[in-house]
Structure 1
Amino acid sequence: MTEKSFTWRAGGLLLPGLLFLAALFAWPVARLVATSFSDPAGAFVHYERIFLDPVYIRVVGRTMALSAEVAVLCLLLGYPLAYQLNRSGPLGKAIILLCVLIPFWTNLLVRSYGWIVLLNPQGIINGLLREAGLIEGAVPLVYNTTGVLIGMTQIMLPYMVLPLAAVMSRIDPTLPSAARSLGASPLAAFTRVYLPLTMPGILAGLLLVFMLSLGFFVVPALLGGPRDILLAQLIDFNINSTLNWPFAAALSTVLLGATLALYWIGDRFFDLGRLWGTR
């Protein structure tokens, strides 16, 4: 087979998928962006409103801050889990993977209502704390930022564990032992040998969790309070309640631009391509 014929065959295989993406993703996104500039009062009037009005600046800032907090919590919880996943035997790996993947098998709405049952003032967690004598009344764990953090962290945790586990599986397990044999303490062997090697997985997990968290709607809507409105909820409000589609399109474009910028920064400066073995 000549190189030219191979190129044509490869192009033929890619064409259906590219047409599908163009029709169902690229074209709608392009229309969305165009709609955000279609207001008769001016092409940039909605963007000026977003970045100059303190109310919308707070919503954008709250969305960014909450997404960053979820990413950090997922890292703190997911790193030991991914580490143990790679160190365990076949049975241990199967059990850990089952626990990690179970959230993918449960509907997002069901999980959110499950957290309401667990976290409400008369729920199981507050009941156990009262029985243990740790509290007298009730700890506010739901319908606030705490509830949103708990719900989103539980849902996003697999997106942190899986990239970390993928990177850790490619690390030579004898390297920390070699560092120990050269006189390094267990902590030094971990922080100076093992941890730097897992950095692509850490960065990829943080980036992935952060980007996905930016567009969360169901969990903040159910577990959050009236002061915890995020960008996705604001978009929904402008589409379904005020019918202000151009402003909703501008908010969506800001969200899209932030996601693309984050991905470019991660790939450009943190070499995330190593995670997939492309570099």
Structure 2
Amino acid sequence: MKTIYTKLLFVICLILIIGCLQYQGDITYLLSNYQTKQKPKDYIVNVKTKTKTLKVPLEEYLIGVVAGEMPVSFELEALKAQVVASRTFVLSRHLNVDSTTNSQVYLTDEQMKKNWKGSYSKNKAKIEKAIKETSYEAMTYQGEYISAMFFSSSNGKTVNCEDYFNGKVAYLKAVDSHWDLTIDPTNTRTKTFTKQALSKAFGISSIDINITAYTNSGYVKTVIINGKKYTGRQIREKLGLASSCFQIQLTSKGYQFTTKGSGHGVGMSQYGAQAMAKENKTYQEILKHYYQNIEIKRIDS
């Protein structure tokens, strides 16, 4: 009799163990299924404006950024490249930015309505599509978000980071962007300064100006003005030039500066992205052309 009870107890315990294991498996399945359905963390961007700081969900923030930074008429793949670059940019700055070119231009919904008028719904839907199709994707280099710099157009080549900003950055290297010369309708611009205006800008009575060195990409590296050395960037910023790729010619009206490209020249050329998209390149191909040896992945992975 004792043997029968022992066997019966063993069977009962075995049934209970199997039941527990099955229950645990069901719970594990439910949890894993729930986790896969969870949305990524809702990142909130702090956008500093002139009067206040806005708190905007990341993917919503990107609508206003792309609207402010790239023509909505551009190809969808170019817009998608801009979305990923802008998303990465703000993540690399720990979600704290302002609404100007110091960070990224950000337009509120009211500003978009004012700018686009009757095309508001169509344009916004196009940007939302670009965001949705790159949902929560960002670029990394060696596991860290990159500083995804971008600009309007180049002189046919982008610039090594150290040739414009301070310090080398492995993924911000000069690359070909020959498309910019023809696709950007305002790639070449001129700006003329009288001798008096140029002298006043540099705080001198008379002026003697000479370009003394160029970068490998053809941007001005150094300029000598009355014996004092300036960088191409310093000249560009002081005179409000479109880029630091310029030539100087003395004319009857004064010193004429002829520039090629628009912006600092580091990272992704927006007009280059547009041209690549027109050649049926994907946004991943565009990004991997302008940012060297990077990875593109979801930020919740």
Q: Shared topology, TM-score over 0.5?
A: no
More strand by share: 2
TM-score after normalising by structure 2: 0.24
Answer with 1 or 2: which has the greater Rg: 2
TM-score after normalising by structure 1: 0.25
Of the two structures, which has the highest relative contact order with CA contacts closer than 8 Å and spacing of 6 or more?
A: 1
More helix by share: 1
